[in-house]
Amino acid sequence: MKFKNPPVNSLSLEFLTEFVISLEKLENDKTFRGVILTSDCPGVFSAGLNLMEMYGRNPAHYAEYWKAVQELWLRLYLSNLIVVAAINGVSPAGGCLMALTCDYRIMADNPKYTIGLNESLVGIVAPFWLKDSFVDTIGHRAAERALQLGMLFPPAEALKLGLVDEVVPEDQIHSKARSVMAQWLAIPDHSRQLTKSMMRKATADNLIKQREADIQNFVSFISRDSIQKSLNMYLEKLQRKKG
């Protein structure tokens, strides 16, 4: 499952909606037991949430967008499929969110590619459920430091931290993803799925039971003048870089 939303695979509302529908189709088609997430945009796994969905819109739009972000995370995180990430480009924030939901993460060995949750640099805060899965993956202390500083890690550091499971030469990432998938496919589905669910249920339930409150929290936070100003400054900086 290659995703492609040029130029940077940002998670627009439309992309999120289509992604979840595609995933659901795969889940319902019993001939599929696993999926490899990778990008068709050179150098970018996913640039993360689309700031244009979070800037200058109305509260109803923010609420709809955040619900779609939650939905993406819940569907991927709790998927019955084996989900392998072949991270073939930069993977900040929402890109890292997708990678964190996977059962196994392989990253291309290119020091230009970085992965992490850099929300605090942009003046925003990662949601608690994303924080929970980050803590589960790299431990509480490493997560606390990385989240406060908005750190992005090149492949070697991400591997050392446990943020990815394996780093391979860039031209071997897809063959490696397939061989990892073969290894996971050798396990009986029912025991693998029950085990996955047992490991993830508490973290997922934590969001499910507070889902509406989390949406309201996001809407009121993102609607603040100060946050809108921060986003504006950041978007203008991006614009200048491109220009």
Binding site for a second copy (CB under 8 A): 103-104, 119-126, 128, 131, 135-145, 147-150, 162, 165, 183-184, 187-188, 190-192, 194-196, 198-200, 226, 230
CB closer to a second copy out of 39 and 137 = 137
Distance separating alpha carbons of residues 103 and 184, to the nearest angstrom: 9
Which tokens hold the place of 219? 């809407």
Instruction: Provide Rg for the chain, Cα atoms.
Output: 17
Q: Which lies closer to a second copy via its Cβ, residue 141 or residue 242? A: 141
Separation CA 97–CA 109 (nearest Å) = 20
Catalytic residues: 49, 94, 118-119
* Nearest approach, Cβ of residue 162 and a second copy (Å): 6
Give the span between the Cα atoms of 210 and 85, in whole angstroms: 28
Minimum distance from residue 198 beta carbon to a second copy (Å): 6
Least Å from the CB of residue 161 to a second copy: 10
- Which lies closer to a second copy via its Cβ, residue 41 or residue 168? 168
Write down the residue that tokens 């995370």 correspond to: 73
Nearer to a second copy (CB atom), residue 71 or residue 136: 136
Q: What is the spatial distance between Cα 98 and Cα 69, in angstroms, rounded to a whole number?
A: 10
Distance, CA of 228 to CA of 208 (rounded, Å): 27
E strand segments, the chain: 2-3, 10-11, 34-39, 43-44, 48-49, 82-87, 89-92, 104-108, 115-116, 166-168
In whole angstroms, how close is the CB of 148 to a second copy at the nearest point?
5
3 state DSSP class of 84: strand
Q: Assign 3-state DSSP to the chain and report helix, strand, coil percentages, each to 5.
A: 60, 15, 25
Q: What is the DSSP letter of 45?
A: S
Closer to a second copy by CB, 148 or 239: give it: 148
Owner of token pair 């504006």? 232
Minimum CB distance to a second copy, residue 160 (Å)? 12
- In whole angstroms, give the CA distance from residue 194 to residue 191: 5
